Structure 1
């Protein structure tokens, strides 16, 4: 009953639609203190606003697993200061050493904190495509982080993963089974999910969003993302979902705000194209059912334009 009550409390956590959401953990560079989602699975929930000086780039979820024979961290963090702060929280929970870091993708807030973990002698695992994307863009990613993080960027270097895989990377540690899975194309190249089959919990990465609008990149294939969701992600049968962004929840909720949003936007753009609509007008297709999501103002029109470009010649 305690486990159920904790999870229900997490589901009830409110979403605040503003870039000015106050820091929830002012004594730390982390945006929020890690919470135990289920026994031995913790996550420091990031801001649903864009990366800013105030949140130090902690706008994604930084998770860790206490296996009994070591700790596995999921996401390196947006800079070395965030990684160090997360390590302090881990040490407050357990004296087990960090043995592995998993990068969910090749974006800065997944990989830029790798430099801290590498300095601790910890191996870092990621999908081969995520490594390539990060290495190809590391200078721009690092400089972009420095511009908003200022002194919180100190000590951060661009360090990629030390271990890569293509389809899956299986781990057994301390009696815990962990499957790092590339399920197919989704939000960005090399997106992976961390699946705990015995616990029926998935640390989804950026295949799943909650409480904030999913950003769609120029390289994103939205039809592929939907197919990956329908054929590989949802069939996992997860009871608990820690999304890439937003509070821990369940599959129905992330489906509503990720897969169903993508389907809805594609339907709106398809109708627009069929009626002879132009790119200039596509930016303003109706997305009002999702206007309550954080980052709607920053992303809705951009998403519509990118999907129009994607679908124009489908």
Structure 2
């Protein structure tokens, strides 16, 4: 476990002398032993216990838990979205906390298996329940809860419906203790958060997947956390603007990054290839819907054909695609 900056005492590693003089260590040797211990990479992470959430270190100090490609249910406990944390010399930032207090607690256990540094920030990339309901597990750490400046309003207006719907899907036992934790800090302009030896850059985005999406970049490793601006394998879901989302994807495609972490998908991906399937899917919907609107087709007709060329490319297509076409039609018919 990282130990709040204190090096392990060398005396724990020095055998006691029996008095014969053979085992005695000189002061110089003690200092050499201390330096060797302090510089040993294996001592950087010293788990105190096994983590209950499966996390992987995808870059130095950057850890990701991968959610399942499923709809929320009692069987998966709402574990359907990626959740991450970044460890700095002064503390930890959590980026999305999964879909229940129980899952959030498992993520917190995973953090504590890596480090006992204070959890300074809990950052939500957007409002959706599978990314925010784990926040409750971090209340005792008294972090800053951080999000897009529109996140508080979005969560506040949906609070009761989110609580009811997610308890119904996950079940009372699996959802116990979950609650909406509103951000204590809203981000309106690009902002840096300090973790000691590393900074996180937070960039609020225009309306795309939702109206409160935010990109988080670990500047030390050039790792981008894209939240649900990036779906892979799991079909994208529109809760904002299809035109805005396509524009944001075009902008992201111009960026350089060592790796990106999607809201749903593998633990890491690379730009610009990671964006191409999602861009193709959304462009297919937009193109088909625009054509059908021009032909005088109805929404009901559009939901039976628009974007269906993408059906075999995505998991959960049947669960979410018609909803996406409906959202796109409502937006594009007023162009």
Does residue 239 in structure 1 map to residue 288 in structure 2? no
Preserved CA contact (<8 Å) 1:114 1:161? no
d(CA) in 1 for partners of 2:132 and 2:310? 33
Q: Any gaps of 5 or more consecutive residues in structure 1?
A: 1-26
Structure 1 residue 148, shift from structure 2 partner: 2.0
Aligned pairs (5 A) from 1:144-223: 144-150=165-171, 151-217=173-239, 220-223=240-243
Q: Any gaps of 5 or more consecutive residues in structure 2?
A: 1-49
Name the structure, 1 or 2, with higher relative contact order (CA <8 Å, separation 6+).
1
Alignment counterpart, residue 86 of structure 2, candidates 58, 65, 77: 65
CA spacing shift, 1:154–1:29, aligned 2, 3 Å: farther
Preserved CA contact (<8 Å) 1:114 1:160? no
Does residue 309 in structure 1 map to residue 330 in structure 2? yes
Alignment counterpart, residue 36 of structure 1, candidates 36, 51, 57: 57
Match in the other structure for 2:154: 133
CA spacing shift, 1:287–1:105, aligned 2, 3 Å: same
Alignment counterpart, residue 229 of structure 1, candidates 249, 260, 267: 249
Larger Rg: 2
What is the TM-score normalised by the length of structure 2? 0.79
Match in the other structure for 1:121: 142
Alignment counterpart, residue 271 of structure 2, candidates 251, 268, 275: 251
SS of structure 2 residue aligned to 1:112: helix
Structure 1 residue 61, shift from structure 2 partner: 0.7
d(CA) in 1 for partners of 2:310 and 2:166? 32
The number of aligned residues is 283
Alignment counterpart, residue 133 of structure 2, candidates 106, 112, 121: 112
Preserved CA contact (<8 Å) 2:52 2:109? no
SS of structure 1 residue aligned to 2:107: helix
Alignment RMSD, CA only? Answer: 1.9
Preserved CA contact (<8 Å) 1:211 1:257? no
Match in the other structure for 1:7: none
What is the TM-score normalised by the length of structure 1? 0.84
SS of structure 1 residue aligned to 2:313: coil
Between 78-87 and 111-120, report the one with greater CA deviation.
111-120
Structure 1 residue 165, shift from structure 2 partner: 1.6
d(CA) in 2 for partners of 1:277 and 1:206? 30
CA spacing shift, 1:121–1:73, aligned 2, 3 Å: same
